[in-house]
A and B are shown apart, each in its own frame.
Chain A
Amino acid sequence: MRTGISRQWVPHPFAKRKDGSEEGVGAPIRLPLAGWVFRVVCVATVLFLCSPSAFAHPQKGEAVGFLTGFRHPISGLDHVLAMIAVGLWGAQLGSPAIWLLPVAFPMVMAFGGMLGLMGVPLPGVEYGIALSAIMLGAAVMFEMRPPLGIAAALVGFFAIFHGHAHGTELPPGQSALLYSIGFVIATGTLHAVGIGIGTVHRWAWGKMALRVAGAMVAFGGAFFLWKAIV
């Protein structure tokens, strides 16, 4: 048998009885954020505001290489539009295109990046990038369903232009390995975003929304083509 101070369960002042009436004397005023969660959040907020600066930043520039590489594909809207369109189109086409296109694009884009790094010239890069947004956007807009090989070839062809542009613009003094990893992960993440958006294709309104999104991508591509020409 346990000895010492006995603990009795004290009902919460705002607890309700089974019949719906309130505990305690009189009708208590129920605050919307009352309770221990609110108190903990208040204490945590105060403590976080008083926290010292973090020491977790990596040294020797490793993070710079990764972050620079990660930022590169998402820094240009023309690249972003095309890469999201690849994901959208893959989602429209379904399996196996939904995974084959996002696999083909980074591989061929990296090949284009390698050519750019090696200094191999490629004419009309800006036109190719703008045309890729137009073509891929149109493919989404019209729900084109070519054979898988043709779809992969189309995506791969335009990926070379994107990769080449990135390859020639690589800043010096970065960690090649971490830059490359960040670069590829960002590209794949953009495809994943496109695929994620493209999952609305299962609903009727989603199909229409995707076609509208494709039209917007194509419109954006036309704008970048106009900018490249002018």
Chain B
Amino acid sequence: MSRVPQSRVPLYAFVFFALAMFALPVEAHLNSTGMGPFYDGLMHFLMSPEDIIPVLALALLAGLRGANYGRRTLFVLPTAWLLGALAGLTAAAANPHPFAASAWFLLLGGLLAADAKLSLRLTTALAALLGLYHGYLNGTGMGLFETAAVAVVGLVFAVFVLIALAAALVVRLQAHWARIAVRVAGSWIAASGLLMLGWAVRTR
């Protein structure tokens, strides 16, 4: 086995830190990455907590129920999201109802916290409904069809990856405390939904 001589380590460390110091500033916080519509769509999803958190909650819920639920959600939710977004691209701009986001948070967070024993059919229906609703809202605000269609693909790709990672992580969890930690995350999501509901009533 080759071994790096000890005297070279400071040199490598110096080069590494020097390169790190002169790195260009990141632009990952901008929705427009300058890398094309595919990554614009992907980043749009990753920078939208109102989209990410319900997807995460559903993926965790499906993961708690098992691999079969996870696989079903993995394909149904992105497909529904894609269909909803394509429908939204051709529709007039729509504003989300102020209570809708909090309702999704409450519903999915509550189900996750309660570790609800949903049937596979009901989980599928929830995934389809969530995908269609959020996809439609995303689609209505995306502008020109040509570039927006590519952005939608990037967005759906991000949804797919998030579900795959989150559900697979939870399916593998065996320890009791780890599964409870997932349920605690659900209670936090539901609690956030309650606060958002109060906020929506206040600012109405």
> A43-B17, A47-B18 known; A107 and B194 CB under 8 Å?
yes
- For residue A106, CB closer than 8 A to chain B, the reply is yes
Cβ–Cβ contact A36 & B10, under 8 A: yes
B38 smallest CB distance to A (angstroms): 23
Digit string of B26-39 for contact with A (CB within 8 Å is 1, else 0)?
A: 10011000000000
* Partner-binding segment picked from B117-125, B164-172, B182-190: B182-190
The answer to whether B25 and A118 touch across the interface, beta carbons within 8 angstroms, is no
Contact B21 A180 (CB under 8 A): no
Q: CB-CB < 8 A to A10: which residues of B?
A: 7
A96's closest neighbor in chain B, by CB? Answer: B180
B196 and A177 form a contact (CB under 8 A): yes
Closest to A10 in B: B7
Given A56-B26, A111-B194: A188 and B199 within 8 A (CB)?
no
Q: Of the candidates B184, B198, B203, which one forms a contact with A103 in the assembled complex, judged by CB atoms under 8 Å apart?
A: B184
Q: Is the CB of A180 within 8 A of B195?
A: yes
Chain A residues with CB below 8 A from B203, complex form: 176
Q: Kindly list chain A residues whose C-beta atoms are within 8 Å of the C-beta of B183.
A: 99, 103
Most buried by A among B6, B10, B53, B177: B10
Which of B18, B29, B184, B196 meets A176, CB within 8 Å?
Answer: B196
Considering only CB atoms and an 8 Å cut-off, how many residues of chain B contact the other chain? Answer: 39
Q: A56-B26, A176-B199 are in contact. Are A114 and B194 (CB under 8 A)?
A: yes
A98 to B163, CA, bound (A): 29
Known contacts A43-B17, A55-B26, A106-B188: A36-B6 contact under CB 8 Å: yes
A217 CB-CB contact with B under 8 Å = no
Which of B7, B30, B50, B202: most chain A Cβ within 10 A?
Answer: B202
How many angstroms from the CA of A180 to the CA of B26 in the assembled complex? 27
- A103-B195 contact in complex given A43-B13, A44-B17, A177-B50, C-beta closer than 8 Å: no
Q: Does A40 contact B (CB under 8 A)?
A: yes
Q: Is the CB of B191 within 8 A of A107?
A: yes
The answer to whether B29 and A167 touch across the interface, beta carbons within 8 angstroms, is no
